[in-house]
Amino acid sequence: AQTVTQSQPEMSVQEAETVTLSCTYDTSESDYYLFWYKQPPSRQMILVIRQEAYKQQNATENRFSVNFQKAAKSFSLKISDSQLGDAAMYFCAVGSQGNLIFGKGTKLSVKP
């Protein structure tokens, strides 16, 4: 069985600052993938960033990067230069064989 834990139900960041969202997971799979999804208020869930567990190098997508610690089963998301449009629910997910297990989400607020 796979589990995903996001320990921060809510986070807040000042515009232009950096924030890190935490995620830990547990899985018995040897080949798995990790994802961060963003869900803005009343809008569609979209993929932010993806990490393949067999890759040691941390994934980066523009202002978004991950800190993947495989031994610790930790997969945190760092958002640099935060913008008002980053305000959303963020979900961490672990997947294998096409399925995903989601965490309960972190609500990120961005203060102007």
Partner 1 sequence: DVKVTQSSRYLVKRTGEKVFLECVQDMDHENMFWYRQDPGLGLRLIYFSYDVKMKEKGDIPEGYSVSREKKERFSLILESASTNQTSMYLCASNTWTGKNQPQHFGDGTRLSIL
Query: Which residue ranges make up the site for partner 1 (CB under 8 A)?
Result: 6, 9, 32-33, 35, 37, 43-47, 50, 52, 91, 95-100, 102-105
Q: Shortest Cβ distance from residue 84 to partner 1 (Å)?
A: 22
**Cβ closer to partner 1: 43 or 112?**
43
Least Å distance, CB 99 to partner 1, is: 7
Pull the structure tokens for residue 21: 């969202």
Question: Least CB distance from residue 101 to partner 1, whole Å?
Answer: 8
